Structure 1
Amino acid sequence: MFSKDIGIDLGTANVVIHVKGKGIVLDEPSVVAIKRSTGKVLAVGSEAYEMVGRTPGDIVAIRPLRDGVIADFATTEEMLRHFIEKIQVRGFFGGIRMLICTPANVTPVEEKAIREAAEKAGAKEVFLAVEPKAAAVGSGMDIWKPVGHMIIDIGGGTTDVAILSMGDIVCGETIKIAGDRFDTDILRAIKEKHKLIIGERTAEQIKKEIATVFPGGRNESMDIRGRDMVRGLPRTVTITSEELREAMAESANEIVEAAKRVLEQTPPELAADIIDRGIIMTGGGSLLHGLDQLVAERVMLPVMMAEEPTLSVAHGTGIMLENLDRLK
């Protein structure tokens, strides 16, 4: 009997799929475009993302995953089915075995929803792995030895902070503050200060191009366009890195505080290892300018970025797929 083993990083912002023996075969936004009147799926992934904020009234582009878990079951199932058909792994005798990553604090109900969505999308067997563990493995950490490692995995919907040793999480915390929250902070600040309404995609672009969370980290400005709240007409305003830093300061501080709380729970021997090894930061949200510097300064430990932060979890699922029978 043959089967096809695939690892899925089912992220709030992106879905990344790793096929055993092939590597990463898909990396697309977790977005689905639906026709409201009929409920018909019109586009999935990159094609649907292009429609965000630009659709007529009857078409809505939605993200079926919120805070790292399924918010819309039927749409998640459709999205998974579409991606699996796109990578062409169907048709194998014995079916598909899926390893799916979830946030560390996922509830049994949320776990069940993920399993059911995967089974309905064509999985014969479903295995679940926690994201910080997969991210640590994908970042090159040898977590199976009796040595302490610390990872901060910042995704779109959640941030996982974890201490790992002997192949498992010793202590950790998941908070619902990550990339999406920083976008929301930017949207709100521009609305309050400039009385200008911008879209989610514009907020994300601003975050990537000129935003920072480290004092003095960037000193740039950018002209942005949106709709004037008072007159309702299009208008252009100039925003600076410093005003964005102020807007995101509270959210960035909550990530720092989560890291401190986890370090306070860490057994002394493992804490000594972390002083030597430092902290690895990974996930798309960790790419926010100055966040690594801010964490390093506040927790007084060296912080290193993973080689491919957005793909660490998917790379980790690839390594775990090699040991799927042991996981079983």
Structure 2
Amino acid sequence: MMGKRSLSLLFGFISQPSIAVDLGTANTRIYTSLHGEVTERPSSISLTTDKTNTISDEYIQYINNKLAAKPLRGGVIVDLKNAVALLKPLVKKSRRFLSAPLSLASAPTDTTENERNLLCTALMNAGASQVAIIPEVWAAAIGAGMDITRPNAQLLIDIGDGVTDMAIFRDGRIINSSSVRIACSDLQRAVRSAVMTKYKVQIYDTDTEKLTNLISSLSRNQECGSETFNVSGIDIVKRCKIDRCIHKTDVIKAMEPVIDKIIVKIEFSLKKLPQKTYSEIEDSGICLTGGGACIEGMDKLIAARTGIRVQIAPDPIHAVINGAIQTLTNWNGNKYWWENIVWPKLSS
């Protein structure tokens, strides 16, 4: 449950919100009411001070330019120092004279109290004066346009970069939640690893993202045959840039185990639900948010495996930050609504 201290902080500044924060594994987004805009940047700190092309080995040059500290893993902070370094310049933009900003942040439902405290500490050290934290799926549901006050159960699945989080809403409350710290970054890592192992090519990030869209073949049970794709990257043997033709089957085989873990978690969580709740979800369907919702075929694959209709939210990547913004601006002084925000007990 959200602590009394966190609630009292929230009551204290809800009438004059300052910033809403979506600190994600891949990207960080901060909204400031001072400017009325969202600032977005990768959740990483470059460790390369000199990016001049003085290195003759193109592979080493590529790796050198990509060296970066990533302070989040699985949706939570694992490196406080670099998390503060990431947040500080973003928080600084929201300051008004000497007044430190007030912050509303969100976190996955499976986070421990210690992990949420670490998020609070990072924001405070970055320059926030006070911090309140709500479940990320709550913000995603608001940002997706769900009416979570409805008396019938509704299911939202948020597939981010580091965690897949699902929650069931009824009567303005989260009545059930489940999560697994496997998501988009694991899919991309599996693809990169498979291509490097077989083809000895470190493919570029843009091509990695394109290849993850081959999930659509899984949802249609397509035969891959000898279909191939051209990708660009660095040949780790010849140490130079190269275009390489790779087989679709290799990519599909790499992604299947990751996808299966995500889908099995969803199926298992659904099977544990009371029949009444399950039936209501069958009627209302599943709302899909996060970067995973943008992977072509992900919605159809989940629908095929669960037998439940899946709808992708409008602007799914920004559902969390959009919901956090609405939370700050649309719910002034509604004490009952804030009391409904709790940290649910996770399904085992």
Normalising by the smaller structure, the TM-score range is 0.7 to 0.9
In structure 2, C-alpha distance between the alignment counterparts of 1:115 and 1:129, rounded to whole Å:
11
- Secondary structure, aligned partner of 1:123: coil
Which amino acid in 1 is paired with 2:161?
A: G
- Any gaps of 5 or more consecutive residues in structure 1? 37-41, 44-51
2:81 to 74, 99, 111: 74
In structure 2, C-alpha distance between the alignment counterparts of 1:206 and 1:160, rounded to whole Å:
23
2:154 is matched with 149
Matched, 1:17 2:44: no
Percent of paired sites with the same residue: 28
Matched, 1:287 2:294: yes
Q: Pairwise CA RMSD of aligned residues?
A: 3.0
Is contact 1:4–1:95 with CA below 8 Å preserved after alignment? no
Is contact 1:32–1:75 with CA below 8 Å preserved after alignment? yes
2:208 is matched with 204
In structure 1, C-alpha distance between the alignment counterparts of 2:132 and 2:239, rounded to whole Å:
50
In structure 2, C-alpha distance between the alignment counterparts of 1:130 and 1:5, rounded to whole Å:
19
Compared with structure 1, are the counterparts of its residues 82 and 22 closer, same or farther at alpha carbon in structure 2 (3 Å cutoff)?
closer
Is contact 2:150–2:170 with CA below 8 Å preserved after alignment? yes
Matched, 1:100 2:105: yes
After superposition, residues 239-318 of structure 1 pair within 5 angstroms as 239-318=246-325
Compared with structure 1, are the counterparts of its residues 299 and 217 closer, same or farther at alpha carbon in structure 2 (3 Å cutoff)?
farther
Which amino acid in 1 is paired with 2:38?
A: V
Matched, 1:125 2:130: yes
Is contact 1:151–1:280 with CA below 8 Å preserved after alignment? yes
Compared with structure 1, are the counterparts of its residues 204 and 185 closer, same or farther at alpha carbon in structure 2 (3 Å cutoff)?
same
What TM-score does the superposition give when structure 1 sets the normalisation length? 0.84
Q: Deviations over 1:103-143 (max 9, x none)?
A: 11111221111001101111111011111111111111111
Which amino acid in 2 is paired with 1:182?
A: L
1:48 is matched with none
In structure 1, C-alpha distance between the alignment counterparts of 2:111 and 2:167, rounded to whole Å:
14
More deviation, 223-232/6-15: 223-232
Higher relative contact order (CA 8 A, sep 6+): 2
Higher strand share: 1
In structure 1, C-alpha distance between the alignment counterparts of 2:223 and 2:169, rounded to whole Å:
31
Q: Deviations over 1:70-123 (max 9, x none)?
A: 1211111111111123xx320267532211111111112211110011011111
- Secondary structure, aligned partner of 2:67: strand
2:21 is matched with 8
Is contact 1:183–1:200 with CA below 8 Å preserved after alignment? no
More deviation, 89-98/68-77: 89-98
- Secondary structure, aligned partner of 1:54: helix
Which amino acid in 2 is paired with 1:11?
A: G
Is contact 1:16–1:24 with CA below 8 Å preserved after alignment? no
After superposition, residues 175-254 of structure 1 pair within 5 angstroms as 175-194=180-199, 196-199=200-203, 201-202=205-206, 204-207=208-211, 212=216, 213-214=218-219, 215-216=221-222, 221-228=228-235, 234-254=241-261
Compared with structure 1, are the counterparts of its residues 23 and 141 closer, same or farther at alpha carbon in structure 2 (3 Å cutoff)?
farther
- By how many angstroms is 1:225 displaced? 3.4
Report the count of equivalent residues.
311
- By how many angstroms is 1:197 displaced? 3.2
Compared with structure 1, are the counterparts of its residues 269 and 315 closer, same or farther at alpha carbon in structure 2 (3 Å cutoff)?
same
- Secondary structure, aligned partner of 1:266: coil
Is contact 2:191–2:212 with CA below 8 Å preserved after alignment? no
- By how many angstroms is 1:54 displaced? 3.5
Which amino acid in 2 is paired with 1:68?
A: G
